[in-house]
Amino acid sequence: MTEVGAALAEGAVRITLLRTSCLLIEHAGRTAITDPWFRRTMRGLPVFRRPAIAVRDLPRIDYVFASHLHRDHFHRAAIRAMANPEMEIVGTVGTAAHCRALQLRAVHDLAPWEQVEVGPFTVYATPCEHTGPAPAEVNFIIDLGELRLFFGGDCRWSSAFADIARRFPGIDVAMLPIGGTRIFGRRTTMNPADAARAAEVLKPRFVIPIHEGGEWLPVPPASWHPGRFAHFPGALERSSSTAQARVLEPGASAIFMPSPR
């Protein structure tokens, strides 16, 4: 059972994994959803893992944080279903044009290092590397008062992490993809070892692995997704990172408080 909607202590954040990179982030009476995806197929292949909460059962969604517009990270029909008159979207450049037909209150396109405030969330876009087609993915730093989150979407390892760490020290929770996707042999998503390496650089207090492999059929050699949640804690322990792994099964939540100063 998920704790979605239950009362939170002042300053706390609750993060609930739905599947892939789709998470609910609750803070200060508001709820955001990252990279919403609720489809049952992926490029014609069956998806084995269903979302932990169906669209019709979601709480009121105040904000959508969309790292990019790939079909497993941006589901327009689901966004239309969850929309309300006050909902806002924060996404990469090109998101507003992609959402024009949805007639939403506001869609904020962010290029790397740009920022926007939506309710209690201050969102900064960061550069990252993933794969085509355009527009390019961004990742996000999300500031919640005394808590700082990093959301890694579907990125692969790159030098961008060093730039992010210099600009945004004091990350409390990093949500890092670990599926290790290879497309025709080319890595497009971090694997568990890559995510541990990113944790070494970002220096978060906690890491939540996201975007697990195995949610849909691989088609070797065209695609392969070997990374699993179970592989990540060991990879993190073998690294120099002092972060704690918080592995969430779909539907599970974790609550984080600001670090004592």
Collapse the DSSP code of 240 into the 3-class scheme (helix H, G, I; strand E, B; otherwise coil) and give the result: coil
In the predicted model, what is the mean pLDDT of the chain?
95
Report the distance separating Cα 60 and Cα 240, nearest Å. 40
CA separation for the pair 138, 146 (Å, rounded): 23
Looking at domain 13-254, what is its CATH homologous superfamily? Ribonuclease Z/Hydroxyacylglutathione hydrolase-like (3.60.15.10)
Q: Please answer whether residues 175 and 151 qualify as being in contact, where contact means their C-beta atoms are separated by less than 8 angstroms.
A: yes
Task: Report, as an integer, the average pLDDT of 112-130.
Answer: 97
Q: Is residue 260 very low, low, confident or very high in pLDDT (cuts 50, 70, 90)?
A: confident
Residue 141 near residue 34, CB atoms below 8 Å: no
pLDDT score recorded for residue 261: 58
Checking if the pLDDT of 38 tops 60, the result is yes
The pLDDT of residue 1 is above 60? no
Q: When comparing pLDDT for 46 and 193, which is higher? A: 193
Mean pLDDT, residues 67-86 taken together: 94
pLDDT for 49 equals 92
pLDDT for the residue numbered 148: 98
Helices assigned H by DSSP within 71-213: 76-82, 95-98, 160-167, 192-202
Does 4 have pLDDT greater than 90?
Answer: yes
Q: Is residue 123 within 8 Å of residue 182, measured between CB atoms?
A: no
Task: Name beta bridge partners: 13.
Answer: 256
Structure tokens at 158: 């790159």
Residue-level pLDDT at 22: 98
Structural domain boundaries in the chain: 13-254
Say if residues 228 and 189 touch (Cβ distance below 8 Å): no
pLDDT digits (tens, 9 = 90+) for 200-234: 999 999 999 999 999 988 888 889 999 999 999 99
Which one, of 204, 207, 192, 203, lies nearest residue 238 by Cα?
Answer: 192
5 band by pLDDT with thresholds 50, 70 and 90: confident
- Across the range 2-24, mean pLDDT stands at 94
- Written as six digits, the tokens of 133 are 């087609």
- Dig out the tokens for 110 from the structure: 């962010």
The answer to whether 99 and 90 are in contact (CB under 8 A) is no
pLDDT band with cut points at 50, 70 and 90 for residue 78: very high
The verdict on pTM exceeding 0.95 is yes
Mean pLDDT of the 142-164 span: 97
What pLDDT digit, counting tens, does each position of 230-249 carry?
999 999 999 999 999 999 99
Predicted confidence at residue 221, as pLDDT, reads 86
Q: What is the pLDDT of residue 259?
A: 85
Q: In what order do the strands lie in the sheet with 121-126?
A: 115-118, 121-126, 139-144, 147-151, 173-177, 206-210, 244-245
Sign for the pseudo-dihedral over CA of 15, 16, 17, 23: negative
Residue 102: its pLDDT value, please?
A: 87
Predicted confidence at residue 200, as pLDDT, reads 98
Using one digit for the tens of pLDDT, what is the confidence trace for 129-147?
998 777 899 999 999 999 9
- pLDDT at position 169, please? 98
- Cα separation of 109 and 242, whole Å? 34
215 burial type by CB count under 10 A (0-12 exposed, 13-18 middle, 19+ buried): buried
